[in-house]
Chains A and B, each alone.
Chain A
């Protein structure tokens, strides 16, 4: 069975909510729409206090090419345009909407009938990309990179295949898994849209074999799509990393930065993104909701909720049995790469794949011991780096050595720190070094 070549770890899967079907979350009383729901320039608010909005009304327009517009996911009245604490633990510009009723913009097709791309020859590559761009779709695996940017290859590059990331290698998270079981046809149409957008005839869906039901269903449904192949993958973290997935599925390694996947002919999109693309292209629906896994060992009903963007996390937890007594840490995303949240008032955004409640015992980090130079971090690094060295030189602010040892190749997957027997904060230090070195490189190139 296929997998990526270098390194990797096997964290306990803890897919507690795998058997729980997606259910719709209640509408919030107040929704908060951060203008920073993606990588790149923030969206610019186009509404003001007192404006009446519907589901699908534009709240913020894209702030540049690498950016995405933001739509209201509720109907009601804009109460203020002000800063709000968001999932990146920063206070940033946001639009507050008090919810009244549930009125949708008429342009959105809310029917559940399956629309096939093959039935719409008028949808050419350009139209599809334009629709995706207008819908504000970003990478929904958590990276939140504006989707249309990836679909417009830089000059000289040609996409050869589309790879759909349905790996969901983060422990606990099951949103993508449930989405595949319940919306297989729509996802496959979404993949067809992406393939048409980048003009390729080859599509792969990579799924780890801890989801045999999803592999079986998708393989069965893909029989109607001869160009799409479901690729079962051996369970190994971080297979959902873009570069690791490309290596696992088509056996090509993306060179060190600044090279990107398109340099080896691959366009990678998350399975949730494929579903959102289907809705945007075939149903005219902007990105206003998503499936989020609310889970944790002490959570009463670990669930997969289809929730409107802007819903405060507090409400999502309340719908899953309330915040447990022993809560020590609340994580937006999965346990390997997610961010610890400062508060439950934070609203969910386009990149919210999970809400993980950790109990106090699990949440605490152990005291670090001295490095015993066991080399385990080197063995598990999926990028072939030397985490022990990078962490040490970064902590000593030796940026030159950090750069010479390829610190910018780090994908921050956390495998090194996960595996370190001395519980050393390797990734904390490497992050510091990586961001500093990237700043230095940018400054040098700007000269």
Chain B
């Protein structure tokens, strides 16, 4: 009787944990992972393995030797997830040393400088990707043509992505929407199969890891906005279907923008965040210097997340009754 535990209520817990959420997202990425291996073969495997291993290593090393944190957060799966997402944002023929630099920037600058898990204002994987995109523009934009399962390094045949064609005005060379859906196009690993990504997204919504608000608002905004432009002038602009299915839009909407730490807390805030990301993406894609606007749009909106959290309060219980006045 001397060893009774005394604590405040609640005395039970749902059993949810950080690990379950992080590994849940990793599981949701499996269909896309299989698709990327199918289309890009050994190159994809090398990119993903390098990215995941170096992210985990850097997180462990920084936590242990630089920050000297008492509890290492490597086991919670967030570094594995960052590694996977970074890998999905890279072309399959990227040299290993560039990937390692990307991982160092993602984990080191994107996450650990702010204090580690839960403190980073920006999505770490996107910080890594954008850093690489600006630093190594040539390597980062030579996209291998899918189907070269065993080709590596310089042997890989590369081609322009649908969005690069779009930006340079080669509308007639664009792939069919069905190819985009199943992933038979050039691009980074995770950009290829929209179907597999949507499958993963459905899994996350079913497991209640994320809610529908962010992905749906982003995709809907891009579709509506590009639909209006397409209706106005089909010779200059592509159909909304191609816009939605190409590039990192689905990957970004379902997996990058929904990152817990850097996205708003309330559903209302998440809708605003999603709509703004969609809007910025279309703006950058059509009138910006880069063919792909998703990463920048998400990072820009990450910066607005604290502001959105401050102004988008959830509806308090009893608020309507108060405004109703009488009662």
Contact = CB atoms under 8 A, between A and B. Distances in A.
Q: Do A and B come from one complex?
A: yes
* Chain A interface main SS type: loop
A373 B265 contact: yes
B263 to A, nearest CB: 8
B68 to A, nearest CB: 16
Given A419-B14, A423-B13, A431 B318 contact: no
B269 to A, nearest CB: 9
7 contacts: A243-B318, A256-B317, A264-B327, A358-B11, A372-B118, A379-B267, A419-B16
Interface stretch (A59-67, A78-86, A247-255): A247-255
A1 interface: no
Contacts of A383: 316-317
A253 B320 contact: yes
B12 A336 contact: yes
Top 4 A-B pairs ranked by shortest CB distance? A414-B10, A370-B118, A375-B265, A255-B318
A255 B261 contact: no
B217 interface: no
Contacts of B203: none
A358 B3 CA distance: 13
Given A328-B4, A419-B16, A384 B317 contact: yes
B265 A378 contact: yes
Contact of A329 (B5, B318, B321, B327): B5
Interface in A397-437: 405-406, 409, 412, 414, 417-423, 425, 427-428, 431
* Chain B, interface residues (CB within 8 Å), range: 35 or more
A417 B327 contact: no
Looking at B4, B78, B117, B267, the one whose CB has the most chain A CB atoms below 10 A away is B4
Given A370-B116, A375-B265, A378-B266, A386 B260 contact: no
Name B's interface SS: loop
A422 B18 contact: yes
Given A336-B12, A338-B11, A384 B4 contact: no
B11 A363 contact: yes
A421 B118 contact: no
A342 B6 contact: yes
A369 interface: yes
A428 B11 CA distance: 12
A384 B11 contact: no
B321 A255 contact: yes
A171 interface: yes
Contacts of B265: 373, 375, 378, 386, 388
A265 B327 CA distance: 9
B314 A381 contact: yes
